[in-house]
Amino acid sequence: MYYIVTGAAGFIGSSLVKALNERGERNIVAVDHLQNADKFRNLVDCEIADYLDKADFLEKLQEGFFDGLVSAVLHQGACSDTMETDGRYMMDNNYQYSLELLNYCQNEEVPFLYASSASVYGAGRISKENREHEDPLNIYAYSKFLFDQIVRRRWSKRTAQIVGLRYFNVYGSREAHKGRMASVAYHFFNQYRAEGRVKLFEGCDGYGNGEQLRDFVSVEDVVKVNLHFLDHPNKSGIFNLGTGQAQSFNDVAVATINTLRDVEGKPALSLDEMQQQGIISYIPFPDQLRGRYQSYTQADIAALRDSGYAAPFLNVEQGVSRYVEQMLKAAR
């Protein structure tokens, strides 16, 4: 029997493959589309049974090659570029692809865990898994929203576990290939090491400089939640996956810089001290993001807790510090 992980060479997908390996699982079919060939590095330390390009995988799926051979599908494959403007590409990649996998898993009675997104909430201040709070601002968010809607329509007739996880702002190891779409923690780390300072956006939507708030969640916690549902196939639903506590971009910058300063043998600084010394500065908010930007996100994780997931989440100070240490180790 095989675990199928789509987007397996990506950020969260490769983290799940590695976590399955750590559980002793080696029968993993890794599915991806390596147009960005550098992603292969995320699988170098992983053990898999086979790699398939997305197109080849779908063809084999339709031919019945995997019938009766799948333990679960962890579907992480998607175009995650929120600035993508090709709507046909986005809908084919994020919606239609997901729909084919959902249909297959339901026909074969196979657990299906998939990546949704907190972007479905748009600019709203309430992030709760109800239709009235969902208002996507771009085609990426709409592609995720529409698939969640299809899942809801089929809910009463499901034949096996379906879990949609609405990821909030995920950061952590194995995201370097994402370039400009990598987390702010990744960018702050590289900026500070290169220039000795970091740059954040000026304030917008009534927030001060760098004070926009997001629910930043470590990929370590994202993996744990996925495995929780994998271990409880009787649990289904669409769940927010964040810490439940919004923190500012300034908080991420301070945590990143102070971890690096500690390694350098320098004392920690406050935000005010970093601003005064020019270690943290601010650049104009991009015009192209106005009206398409989430200035506040905070996951309501009541449903996740009700599902039985009780483990604590890393906050920014804990998670970013661990991530910076991991990046330093990898850079040596």
The answer to whether residue 128 is catalytic is: no
**pLDDT score of 291 more than 80:** no
Q: How confident is the model at residue 302 (pLDDT cuts 50, 70, 90)?
A: very high
pLDDT for 290 equals: 75
Task: Write down the catalytic residue from 3, 95, 97, 140.
Answer: 140
**pLDDT tens digit sequence for 215-239:** 999 999 999 999 999 999 999 999 9
The answer to whether residue 2 is catalytic is: no
- Report how far residue 48's alpha carbon sits from residue 21's, in angstroms, rounded to the nearest whole number: 8
The count of residues in the chain is: 332
Task: Write down the catalytic residue from 18, 54, 178, 199.
Answer: 178
- Report how far residue 189's alpha carbon sits from residue 81's, in angstroms, rounded to the nearest whole number: 21
Q: What is the mean pLDDT of the chain?
A: 93
Rounded to two decimals, what is the model's pTM?
0.94
pLDDT for 80 equals: 66
Structure tokens at 276: 């005064």
Q: How confident is the model at residue 5 (pLDDT cuts 50, 70, 90)?
A: very high
Contact 300, 240 (CB under 8 A): yes
pLDDT for 81 equals: 66
Segment 166-184 mean pLDDT: 94
Three-class secondary structure of residue 36 per DSSP: coil
**pLDDT score of 145 more than 90:** yes
CA distances, 115 to each of 43, 79, 94, 214, 233 (Å): 19, 11, 10, 18, 17
Of 155, 150, 147, 72, the closest CA to residue 113 belongs to 72
**pLDDT tens digit sequence for 60-113:** 999 999 999 999 999 998 766 666 667 787 788 788 999 999 999 999 999 999
